[in-house]
Amino acid sequence: MAEWEVVIGLEIHAQLATRSKIFSGASTAYGAPPNTQASLVDLAYPGVLPVLNAEAVRMAVKFGLAIGAIIAPRSIFARKNYFYPDLPKGYQISQYEHPVVSRGSLAVMLDDGTVKTIGVTRAHLEEDAGKSLHEGLANASGIDLNRAGTPLLEIVSEPDMRSAKEAVAYMKKIHTLVRYLEICDGNMQEGSFRCDANVSVRPRGQEKFGTRAEIKNLNSFRFVEKAIQYEVARQVELIESGGKVVQETRLYDSDKDETRSMRSKEEANDYRYFPDPDLLPVEIDDGFIATVRQTLPELPDEKAARFARDLGLSVYDAGVLSASREMGAYFEAVVAELGATHASHGGPGMATQGLREAGTAQRNAAHAKLAANWVMGELSSALNRDNVEISASRVSPAALRGLLARIVDATISGKIAKDVFEVMWSEGKAADDIIEAQGLEQITDSGAIEGVIDAVIAANPKQLADYRAGKDKLFGFFVGQVMKATGGKANPARLNDLLKVKLGGTQAP
Amino acid sequence: MLHNLSIGELAAHLGGRQISSVEITRHFLARIERLNSGLNAIITLTAAEALAAAAAADRRLAAGERGPLLGIPLIHKDIFCTDGVRTSCGSRMLDNFIAPYDATVVARLKAAGAVMLAKANMDEFAMGSSNETSYYGPVKNPWDTAKVPGGSSGGSAAAMAARLAPYTTGTDTGGSIRQPAALTGVTGVKPTYGRVSRYGMVAFASSLDQAGVFARTAADAATVLKVMAGFDPLDSTSVDAPVPDYAALLSAPLKGLKIGLLREFFEGLESRNATLIHDALKIYTSLGASTVEVSLPHLPLSVPTYYVVAPAECSSNLSRFDGVRFGYRCDQPKDLADLYKRSRGEGFGPEVKRRIMTGTYVLSAGYFDAYYLKAQKVRRLITDDFRSAFQQVDLLIGPTTPTPAFDIGAKIDDPVTMYLNDIYTIGANLAGLPGLSLPCGFVDGLPMGLQLIGPHFSEGKLLNAAHQFQLATDWHNHAPRGYE
């Protein structure tokens, strides 16, 4: 494979989150009984006319601005003509020669941490078709036109990706972006976000692209990766065995993990595109663009950069925590409240004492790192395990802050905190209530800890002798015995200090 | 007789409670009953609905409401969707189609208290110049029933000429109001593209289609157009500009009016037709207008340009008639392709098929640039020609058609000759301009039309010029024998 270079371009279809359809007033809500959300316009009754939904245009412009693209002052809707029962007019209204968005780009972080810029050729508005239903009907096909006329933004990339993983990273980035912008719900099961992949291979070093195949309608990141991998292997094998790749449309069968030919270039429809005479050109002026620009949220890259710069997070952590708007918001709520907690408590807990001396910035960084570890660790595991969205988390940012505050002020250890978190998650109680009810508060009183140490030393004379003879590793044994005797509640830092003194060894701190 | 009264006179009688809407409606329904069988101008008679609407109008009148069209009957071209009433578009494809909504034109007239008597016959999907392509058979010209009434709004024109209604509606894509108005001796107005909503009008060629009105006089047409016209949020191509009070503009003197004579319209014009036009121009000069010859060098390309653009749009517009959701569906389709082929093959007539095939061809890969794109460029040149002409003159005057009404069957097998019938009318559609045809005399006992074309949104000026002509002449008062 080393001598072959893979070339991939993606056409992503993002369903725009408008309340009504792109050319009619019918609702776009998912899951209604068949044909209950199809107006006379969607049904293409004789005499009806399309009227453009301004909200769809606003969303397309928002996307264009977020990828630094050119917003066309004048874009045009065309008709793409073909016959199919789920296409009521016999043509799809889509922007063809003059799309609303062109020539943008997106920075994508690859697995090895390098950042690659992927070009976005264009993004254009179009309407979705309905659905044909072939199951559960004897000798007949059903047609559900609820989806007909749903607004789509088709985002076409340059052929800039060189592996299936790059393609997935790019698609994930677009997915993150459209949800940040609140222009698409990103729901891939419901088909709100799907893509076609154009795949070709060429000998490394050759400038001319190989013949491409287009794999249609991939609706999960995993399928994109597997379909491209299969297709690349197929093309390489074909060429190496003396064959030629033909330009064609292929379908990915996820059950068999293979792509199959759907239709060749020769069988392709002649769509007879021409400007739709029922719709005026879309005119967009600078004022409109400025208004839309004001509604842009902080974008994922900006947020990640801020997390790294202001909170001292690693690039990796900052990237993970900004991957969705909801996760970023959750994390920020925890950090903000944790800071507030500290200011109001201000107690001289051992863990915070050192931090105070080291200065506010460092303390904030420590809090941020703690919050980051918890959001990315325990919280994310629980969310994944129970398949819950972070916006619907059973542990709210305030509740998590309540738990982390007890770590910060050394009421409990990080280890105990994990147990507390599980109870919070399953029973919905506050951290303080659980700590109090279960008596989990750390033992920080030196006298109490010394008493336990004395008892442990007395019960283990041999280990004591060995330790004092130079077996340093046995320090851990004594820590374990004390923790066992205290039910894990001894303050670890305090225990270490006291144990060192009691054992009288030569341990370096 | 009631059927010879103007809309204004009928409204005055209704307003004075000398007569009721129900009585007027019964009068016209009786005329249709008696006279339509010889003309075939009507596809669907809606007598019961008409009487109910008339009774409702009478209640509004009794309550003191007055309106220029309140309680006055009309006939709609069967291209306008009418809620609960068959809307066939002259095609077998829609023979079973009951529209579930009113076209904007229908809704506006209905709100004004208009009483629909019937739906008028027309060329199938408005494709034709003689009303011979209708699934419901040809319409006959009341002036000579061996002759065509013109098309595609032939039923509306014939019904108007035969006084089957005080006014009728029509649509004009390449002359479909003006040409039949000329051939049946009535006044027909095709407004500026975008002046009247296309919502609910079964589409033929979206960039050319425009709804308008047939009436006996320009004054009547002015009254109706005022109600029909105006911005419609349901039609993105309708124009959001105020609608003038056309009736108030009718009496303006024509002194100083600059009339352009289109050189291209007079070249090769048959002498008797030319004489009528020149006689009309004498009337205009006597009213204080001046004439100047102007040239639109690209106008002779109108017909070929039109027969690329209109079929291209129609080939796409008519794709929705696929036998799936409404309209004609073939018996026992064996698969999807069979359903499409037979539903469309059996549902459409030959002229519609010819245009769908022409349009599909000109939009095809490899031919698009040579036909569709070139036609769009020529269309732009024709529009520019008109624009520069209107920098010199207020309106253009010429014949509406090259000849009077021809025999039924004479041209139906020769599409190119048939298409040339629209040579004088198509330019206004390509440029989106308003046009008006009014009676200006007779050749061989058949009426001829004088055509006025003005700049965009000059309907008021066209109606004013036509009205002043009708004050000075009585061609518009001639009725065909048997229909007086």
Q: Provide, as residue numbers in chain A, all residues whose Cβ is less than 8 Å from the Cβ of B364.
A: 270, 272
Mean pLDDT of chain B: 97
Mean pLDDT throughout A211-227?
95
Rounded to an integer, what distance in angstroms lies between the CA atom of residue A5 and that of residue A228? 13
Q: Are residues A428 and A289 in the same domain?
A: no
Q: Residue A303 is encoded by which pair of tokens?
A: 């947020």
Between chains, do A46 and B202 touch, taking CB under 8 Å as contact? yes
CB neighbours (10 Å) of residue A265? 10
A338, A371 Cβ separation under 8 angstroms: yes
Give the contacts of A497 (CB within 8 A, at least 6 positions apart): none
What pLDDT is attached to residue B419? 84
| Predicted ipTM of the assembly | 0.96
Can you tell me the distance from the alpha carbon of B241 to that of B196, in angstroms, rounded to the nearest whole number? 11
Contact (CB<8Å) B199/A143: no
Do A184 and A308 fall into the same domain? no
Cα separation, A173 vs A112, in Å, equals: 16
- Does any domain span residue B263? no
A254 and A109 assigned to the same domain: yes
Strands A70-71 and A151-157: unpaired
Domain membership of residue B172 as a residue range = 2-233+462-477
- Let me know if residue A308 belongs to a domain: yes
Name the pLDDT band for B271 (thresholds 50, 70, 90).
very high
- Beta carbons within 8 Å of A31's beta carbon, 6+ residues apart: A190
Asked if B233 has any chain A CB less than 8 Å from its own CB, the reply is yes
* Average pLDDT of the residues in B448-459: 98
* A306: nearest Cα among A391, A378, A368, A389: A368
Q: Cα distance from A80 to chain B (closest Cα, Å)?
A: 9
The total domain count for chain A is 3
Nearest-CB residue to A272 (from B80, B81, B364): B364
Residue B59 placed within a domain: yes
Has residue A509 been placed in a domain? Answer: no
pLDDT score for A339: 64
Q: Tell which residue, A404, A345, A354, A343, has the closest CA to residue A378.
A: A404
Q: Give the model confidence (pLDDT) of A252-311 as tens digits.
A: 998 999 999 988 777 778 999 999 999 999 999 999 999 999 999 999 999 999 999 999
Residue B102 makes CB contacts below 8 A (sequence gap 6+) with: B81, B82, B83, B110, B200
Nearest CB among B233, B312, B327 relative to A274 is that of B312
Tell me which residues of chain A have a C-beta less than 8 Å from any C-beta of chain B. 40, 43-52, 79, 81, 83, 85, 88-91, 143, 270, 272-274, 277-280
Q: How confident is the model at residue A2 (pLDDT cuts 50, 70, 90)?
A: low
pLDDT digits (tens, 9 = 90+) for A350-400: 444 444 445 676 777 888 999 999 999 999 999 999 999 898 999 999 999
Are B365 and A40 in contact (CB < 8 Å)? Answer: no
**What number is the average pLDDT over the span B175-192?**
98
Distance CA B426, CA B307 (A): 10
Beta strands in B337-456 (DSSP E): 395-399, 435-443, 446-453
Cis peptide before B302 (omega within 30 of 0): no
What average pLDDT does the segment A440-446 reach? 78
Percent of chain B beyond pLDDT 70?
100
Measured at the CA of B396, the angle between CA B386 and CA B283, to 5 degrees, comes to 170
What per-residue confidence (pLDDT) applies to A484?
87
Comparing A481 with B175, the larger pLDDT belongs to B175
> CATH no. for residue A469?
1.10.10.410
* Arithmetic mean of pLDDT, B204-229: 98
Q: Check A272 against B202: CB less than 8 A apart.
A: no
What are A47-106's pLDDT values in tens digits? 999 999 999 999 999 999 999 999 999 999 999 999 999 999 999 999 999 999 999 999
**Taking residues B329-351, what's their average pLDDT?**
96
Whether residue A347 has pLDDT greater than 70 = no
Judge if A288 and A308 occupy the same domain.
no
CB crowding B325-339: b at 16 or more within 10 Å, else e: bbbbbbeeeeebeeb
Confidence of residue A495 (pLDDT cuts 50, 70, 90): confident
Q: How many domains does chain B have?
A: 1
When pLDDT is averaged across residues A306-320 and rounded to a whole number, the result is 91
Q: Does the pLDDT at position A112 exceed 90?
A: no
Amino acid at residue number B105? V
Q: How far apart are CA B273 and CA B279, in angstroms?
A: 10
Q: Do A106 and A205 belong together in one domain?
A: yes
Same domain, A220 and A76: yes
Q: Residue B350 contacts by C-beta under 8 Å, 6 or more apart in sequence?
A: B133
Residue B112 has pLDDT above 50, yes or no: yes
Residues of B with CB below 8 A from A48's CB?
A: 199-200
**Inter-chain CB proximity A40 and B101 less than 8 Å:** yes
**Is residue A143 scored above 80 in pLDDT?**
yes
- The Cα–Cα gap between B286 and B280 comes to 10
Determine which of A22, A40, A49 to mutate to test the interface with B (most B C-beta atoms within 10 Å): A49
* CA–CA distance, A75 with A72 (Å, rounded to integer): 6
Residues of A in Cβ contact (< 8 Å) with B82: none
Nearest alpha carbon to residue B124 among B96, B89, B159, B149: B89
Chain A residues touching B321 at Cβ < 8 A:
46
Q: Work out the average pLDDT over B442-454.
A: 98
Mean pLDDT across the stretch A133-142? 82
Residue recorded with tokens 């359903």: B339
Tell me the CA distances in angstroms from B2 to A102, A342, B55, B73, one per residue in order: 64, 94, 18, 12
B81 reaches A (C-beta below 8 A): yes
The CATH number assigned to the domain holding B89 equals: 3.90.1300.10
What SS3 state is found at B368? coil
The pLDDT of residue A346: 39
* Averaged pLDDT for residues A241-251: 94
Range of lowest pLDDT (A200-204, A444-448, B200-204)? A444-448
CB pair distance less than 8 Å for A90 and B89: no
Q: Do A319 and A464 belong together in one domain?
A: no
The answer to whether residue B200 neighbours chain A at the CB level (below 8 Å) is yes
Residue A37's domain spans which residues? Answer: 4-294
pLDDT at position B156: 98
pLDDT at B354 over 60: yes
| Residues B175 and B129 sit within 8 Å (Cβ to Cβ) | yes
Which whole-number Å values give the CA distances from B39 to A356, B164, B184, B421, in the listed order?
102, 11, 12, 22
Alpha helix stretches (DSSP H) within B212-293: 218-228, 246-249, 263-266, 271-286
Please compute the mean of the pLDDT values over residues B247-253 and round it to a whole number.
97
Residue B287, in any domain of the structure: no
Q: Which residues of B touch A277 (CB under 8 A)?
A: 205-207, 237, 313
B333 touches chain A (CB under 8 A): no
Across A452-457, average pLDDT: 88
Distance of CA A433 to the CA centre of its chain: 34
Task: Read off the amino acid at residue B279.
Answer: D
Tell me the pLDDT tens digit for each residue of B2-52. 999 999 999 999 999 999 999 999 999 999 999 999 999 999 999 999 999
Minimal-distance CA residue of chain B relative to A268:
B365
In a domain, A508, yes or no: no
Q: What is the predicted pLDDT for the residue at A357?
A: 44
Single-letter code of the amino acid located at A30: Y
User: How large is the C-alpha radius of gyration of chain A?
Assistant: 30
pLDDT at residue A375 in the model: 95
* DSSP reduced 3-state for A270: coil
Point out the residue among B205, B319, B372 whose CB comes nearest to the CB of A90.
B319
Does A48 share its domain with A159? yes
Mind telling me how many Å the CA of A18 is from chain B's nearest CA? 19
* Predicted local confidence at residue B278, as pLDDT: 95
pLDDT for residue A8 = 98
Domain boundary at A243, A268, A294, which? Answer: A294
Distance (Å, rounded) from C-alpha A273 to C-alpha B388? 32
| Residue B427, domain member (yes or no) | no
Q: What is the 3-state secondary structure (H, E, C) of A491-502?
A: CHHHHHHHHHHH
Percent of chain A with pLDDT over 90: 67
Active-site residue, selected from the candidate residues B77, B140, B147, B411 = B77
Q: Is B176 a catalytic residue?
A: yes
Rounded Cα–Cα distance for residues A53 and A72 (Å): 17
On whether residue B20 sits in a domain, the answer given is: yes
Contact B316 A79 (CB under 8 A): yes
Say if the Cβ atoms of A83 and B312 lie within 8 Å: no
**Considering the domain boundaries, does residue B42 fall inside one?**
yes
Question: Mean of the per-residue pLDDT values for chain A?
Answer: 90
In this structure, the answer to whether residues A323 and A218 fall within a common structural domain is: no
Q: Is B469 helix (H, G, I), strand (E, B) or coil?
A: helix
Cα–Cα distance list, B196 to A328, B192, B220, B243, B434 (Å): 53, 8, 17, 10, 11
What average pLDDT score do residues A473-496 get?
86
Verify whether the Cβ–Cβ distance B316 to A81 is below 8 Å: yes
Give the bridge partners for A193, in sequence order. A14
Which of A396, A422, A438 terminates a domain? The answer is A438
Task: Report how many Cβ contacts below 8 Å link chain A to chain B.
Answer: 97
Closest CA to A304 of A320, A289, A291: A320
Provide the residue type at B399 as one letter. Answer: P
Task: Note the pLDDT of residue A365.
Answer: 82
Instruction: Establish if B243 belongs to a structural domain.
Output: no
β-strand partners of A101: A71, A123
Which of A294, A311, A330 marks a domain boundary?
A: A294
